Amino acid sequence: MTILVLNAGSSTLKFAVFETRNDPVLRFKDQVAGAGAEALNAVFARLARENIAVAQLRGVGHRIVHGGTEFSRPVVVDDDIEARLNALRALAPLHQPYGLDALRAMREAAPHVPQVACFDTAFHASQPEIAARFALPRAYFERGYRRYGFHGLSYEHVVHALPAATGKPLPARLLIAHLGNGASLAAVREGKCVATTMGYSTLDGLVMGTRPGAIDPGVVLSIMKDDRLSLEQMEEILYRKSGLLGLSGLTSDMRRLLESPERQAQDAVEAYCYWAARQAASLIAAMGGIDAMVFTGGIGENAEFVRGRIIHHLAWINGFSVHIVLANEELIIARHTTGLLT
């Protein structure tokens, strides 16, 4: 069986093809520039060069950023499911539309090929209510204002891959650091998420490439009032002009910052590491200690200096092992797709 996996972003469409019997095996993966139908046509052209007919695919797995409270596991998409997913666009307006647009275009292009939606929020559905609830009037929680968490497909992959890599059972108290342009941590106890740093949106938690992480909401209100900013202007600052870019005034690229001799570049890197460690300590408290830590994601896997600084800040904690697991969200999506369709 041939499975296509799609991961749609604002400027690129990543895709992977798996051959699957018992467990999916990667045949190839690639990405094309753009979004929407034009990008999907480029994917189809690549499949044709590989002698893969779209109509003969066993299924297509999609990374969908947000499942809300309704979708806590992968689901085969029909018209009703798609309509319910579209109702969630407002929960992640800068991320959700791309995945859903790719899903719609794929359903139109190959109406007889099953489509499976896999959610970045699903892994965090196991958080206890005390971790998910904001200290706001109770009615807001019932309306969906809560901590959802993201990067869940990456965390799920680590949970499956670490025992295979070490030959040992999954550590009971595992801290996972998904570090990239977007970054978060997850506290995993007995294989289940009990806390994570991202919340209602992808803005919360760690310093990121262009996002600030945890910030006093009073700062946001005051900046909007003092500078007379619109909601859209403030959104632009928070999502695209803050984080490493805002701190350094140079770039959001960690590799370039690590190579730069500029003091503001070094300060930005140190802030990234400091806040990762500071938030890590709060998650360690949430799971009652730590047995192991895993780094994954582009920065987590490749930036040895960043890993070292974070571990340095956590050196007061004794007795936990440190591992690197290469991110592979596509494999998890392929497994979910295969499982649901067989």
Q: How far is CA 210 from CA 181, 234, 297, in A?
A: 7, 13, 16
Active site residue 23: no
**Selected catalytic residue, list 120, 253, 267, 291:** 120
Tell me how crowded residue 104 is: count the other CB atoms within 10 A of its CB.
Answer: 17
Q: From CA 156, how far away is CA 166, in angstroms rounded?
A: 16
Q: What angle do CA 314, 209, 11 make, to 5 degrees?
A: 140
**Crossing angle of helices 231-240 and 217-226, rounded to 10°:** 130
Q: Report helix, strand or coil for 158.
A: helix
Please give the sequence-ordered ranges of beta strands (E in DSSP) within 48-151, or none if there are none. 59-64, 75-76, 115-119
The 10 Å CB-count burial string (b at 16+, else e) for 185-210 is bbbbbeeebbbbbbbbbbbbbbbbbb
Q: Which of 85, 122, 121 is nearest to 103 (CA)?
A: 85
Amino acid at 92: A
Q: From CA 176, how far away is CA 301, in angstroms rounded?
A: 12
Residues with a known catalytic role: 120
